[in-house]
Amino acid sequence: MRTMVKRTGLAGLLVAALVAAGAGSALATGQSALAAKKTTVTVVVTDVSGADSAMTMEVTPSSVPAGKVKITLDNQGTVIHEMVVMKTKTAFDKIPVGANHRTSEAKSVGEIADVGKGKTKSKTFKLKPGSYVLMCNVAKHYENGMRAAFTVT
């Protein structure tokens, strides 16, 4: 009888271990599925020699699915930059600029502020479908080309 109890006990433990392992795998798979739902975007900004020079903003990818979007801003320029996320139907290069050489941020859904030269910063945004403009709104930077179209589907 003792042998039978030991075998049943061992078998029960083995079954419990297998169930736990399967549940653990399902949990791990569920966690990776959730992590996979966050899209990552890289934005690289550059300037030649400060505010009065030509500037660029490269966005990879330029279109993402709606939901959580982690954006990493990589400042490869010579001065501080930022990245403002604006939801707008206005073309990326037609946003009105004020006398202060900045655009209105009334349609902003968030930003990554004050990224020093050679630095990177990341932030996660919850974005709805639509047309967006990503831009640096430090004075003169938008005018000098630091802007890009961005689409959320």
- Hunting for tokens 């037609």 — which residue is that? 94
First to last CA, the chain: 66
CATH C-level class of 39-152:
mainly beta
Helix (H/G/I), strand (E/B), else coil: 101: coil
Find which of 15-29, 43-57, 90-104 is predicted with most confidence, using mean pLDDT.
Answer: 90-104
| pLDDT single digits (tens) 33-71 | 554 578 999 999 999 888 788 999 999 999 999 999 999
**CA nearest 135: which of 100, 99, 108?**
108
- pLDDT greater than 80 at residue 116: yes
Domain boundaries in the chain? Answer: 1-36, 39-152
Query: pTM score, two decimals?
Result: 0.76
- Give me the residues paired with residue 63 across strands: 151
